[in-house]
Amino acid sequence: MRDWMLTGMAAVAGMGWAAAPAVAADTKPATTPAGRLVKLLDADGDGKIAEKEFKDGFAKVDSSGDGVLTQDELVKVLKEKPKTGNATGKTPSARLWELLDANADGAVKKDEYEMAFTKLDKDGDGSLTEEELKSAIAPAPKKKK
Ligand SMILES: [Ca+2]
Ligand SMILES: [Ca+2]
Ligand SMILES: [Ca+2]
């Protein structure tokens, strides 16, 4: 109860929690890198990353705040464990990095980052779902059926 009070006061004090709907909505932790990315960038909580949300998300990924993304910052955002020597598969952050760093100079500026949206939006509907991100950055699942 006390926590609720504090949260309410924080919201009133302008912490940017304007239109949070249900308090209990956010109970399931994201468990995949793609899920974590959606969670981070999906500002309105509809489960998809709209193009604007993606673009606004640049600052969230740029944890050093220098206006350039590095692969380390990406690893942090995806909360990946240090590489554990799987020789075949690339990590999701490495795959995402290849998509982002179009000119492969080891740094991603805002315009490069924004261009990646189109590459990630496979069905071209203007928003990224967890599935789309997964297919782009997660290792392809072994076929079994
Ligand atoms: Ca959204
Ligand atoms: Ca940075
Ligand atoms: Ca889409």
Distance in Å, CA 48 to ligand 1 centroid: 4
Distance in Å, CA 110 to ligand 2 centroid: 11
**Higher-pLDDT residue of 115, 142:** 115
Type of residue found at 133 = L
| For the chain, domain boundaries | 30-137
Distance in Å, CA 119 to ligand 3 centroid: 10
Residue 29 near residue 74, CB atoms below 8 Å:
no
Type of residue found at 32 = T
Q: Helices 92-100 and 71-78 sit at what angle, rounded to 10 degrees?
A: 130
CATH class for the domain made up of 30-137: mainly alpha
pLDDT at residue 30 in the model: 76
Instruction: Tell me what the pLDDT averaged over the chain comes to.
Output: 84
pLDDT digits (tens, 9 = 90+) for 79-133: 887 665 555 578 999 999 999 999 999 999 999 999 999 999 999 999 999 999 9
